[in-house]
Every structure is written in C-alpha cells, then in structure tokens.
Amino acid sequence: MFNFGIKDFIDIFCVALMLYYIYRLMKESRSLNVFIGILIFIIMWLFVSQVLEMRLLGSIMDKLVSVGVIAIIILFQEEIRKFLYNLGTHHKVKSIVRLFSSGDKKDKVDMESIMPIVMACMNMSKGKVGALIVIERLTPLDDIVETGDVIDANINQRLIENIFFKNSPLHDGAMVISKKRIRAAGCILPVSHNFDIPKELGLRHRAAMGISQDSDAIAVVVSEETGRISVALRGQFHLRLSAEQLESILTRELDL
C-alpha cells in the first residue's frame, strides 16, 4: 500500500518550487528553449532505458547524459551564477548573517552621505541633466571601478553635478560611490537585455538594471530626456521618484 506523508508533500513541493524558479530564470535569460530541449532529451533517455530497455541506444544516451552534466554547467554558467548570487543575497539570508555579526561592525547609514546625492539628483532633474550613480553595498564593484577614472573624493553635491555636466568628459559613464566616497566616474556597466524594460527608458536605465541584476548595488538614474529620477534595485525599477522617496529608499537600503 502506498503511504503519502508530510515528508512526501514537502519533497514534491520543493521540487515543484525548484522547477518553477529554474523556469523563471531561463525565461528571463532567453534560454528557455534550450532548457525545454534538455528536459525532452532526459524524458527520451528515461523512456528508452527504463521503459523500452533498449540496451545499445540506452548505453549511448547514458554516456551523453554523463558528459552532458559538464556541458550544462558550461552552457548555463551565467544562469547558475545568478541563481547562487540571488540565493546568497536574499534579504532573509542577509538578515540571518547580520544576526550573527558583531554589532560594532554594523555600518549605520550616514545622512551626510545621502543628502548630497539626493540634492544633486534634484538639481540635475530640474535641468534635465542625465546621470547614473551606482552605490556599492555588500558586493564589491572593483571591476566596475577599473573601467572608469578614479576620483576618490568625499561625496559632494557640486562635484556630482560637475561630473555629470553635459560638457564634462565623464558625464556619459556611471559614477561609483563606495564607503562614503566617490571612487570613480565614467565607468562602464553591464547592460540588461531584459525585454520587460519599458521602451521609453534609455541606455542609462538598461545599464542601471544590469548592475542591479549582477550585484546588490543601488543604481540611481536621472533621465536626460524627461528629468525623472529612477532607482534600480534587485532587478526592479522604482520610477518617477520625488526627493522624499529617493531619500527614503537610500536611507532604508543603506542601513546595513
């Protein structure tokens, strides 16, 4: 007699949840067709080897499956990296890590670092000056800093506005802020190819989305066309922000 207990229910639920998450991940990365093809091949392999018991064809497919595990890791290395990164940077996981960390090491948010960013974004918004500011959190952005010009200066409203001034040679790139200092400007960011991004959003927004998907950084964007302020965070956009909303997001998210 078949016994179905709570452990079986949890087992099935976990497998279903895992398959659903993989499906979403493959769909976002445009690898869904490849993933479906792999599933079809696995079903064929099980049918040939277990149901039809075809020894020769089954042995050939067994060899392909054993080698295919390595091929899958190579083929989906970006997706696997993103999955592990999202798992490690999930807010619940980080809460558990902070619970066991020393209270003396907790870096409280500094309003003197936030307000110059907010005020600079508001002034650039009024003048429709395009800007892209990336604020580092737990994930190091050293590779991004290396693509730009190192500044290493205190966070200053006038300095931010001068860097993104239309005639400035650094205004097209991104500014990286780390440890309450402006580390670099004119940096190159990975561009997101997500089709769900609204078409009216330009390259700055796609770059902001790209860095928010690859790290836990906060990306603040000022649109050159509309002057609207947006924030990209954890692969999601917060659009049409006021000064109060921008300050609220930065205060909440930088309170690590």
Mean pLDDT of 160-181: 91
Neighbours of 37 (CB within 10 A): 10
Sheet holding 229-233, edge to edge: 149-154, 181-187, 174-178, 131-135, 218-222, 229-233, 236-238
Tens of pLDDT, residue by residue over 141-158, are 998 999 999 999 999 999
Closest CA to 50 of 62, 39, 40, 38: 62
Is residue 169 predicted with pLDDT exceeding 80? yes
Q: Name residue 149's beta-bridge partners.
A: 185
Which sequence spans correspond to the domains of the chain? Answer: 6-88, 105-253
pLDDT at 121 over 80: yes
The matching CATH number, chosen from 1.20.1540.10, 3.20.20.140, 3.40.1700.10, 3.40.50.10490, for 105-253 is 3.40.1700.10
* Span 240-244, average pLDDT: 93
- Cα distances from 173 to residues 63, 104, 218, in angstroms, run 49, 36, 16
- Could you tell me the pTM of the whole model? 0.65
The structure tokens listed for 73 are: 């890791």
In single-letter form, the type of residue at position 5 comes to: G
Q: Give 208-233 pLDDT, tens digit per residue.
A: 999 998 888 999 999 999 999 999 99
CA–CA separation, 256 and 249 (whole Å): 13
pLDDT value at 172 more than 90: no
**What's residue 82's pLDDT?**
63
Taking only the tens place, the pLDDT of each residue in 82-92 is: 666 666 655 55
Task: Report pLDDT for 90.
Answer: 54
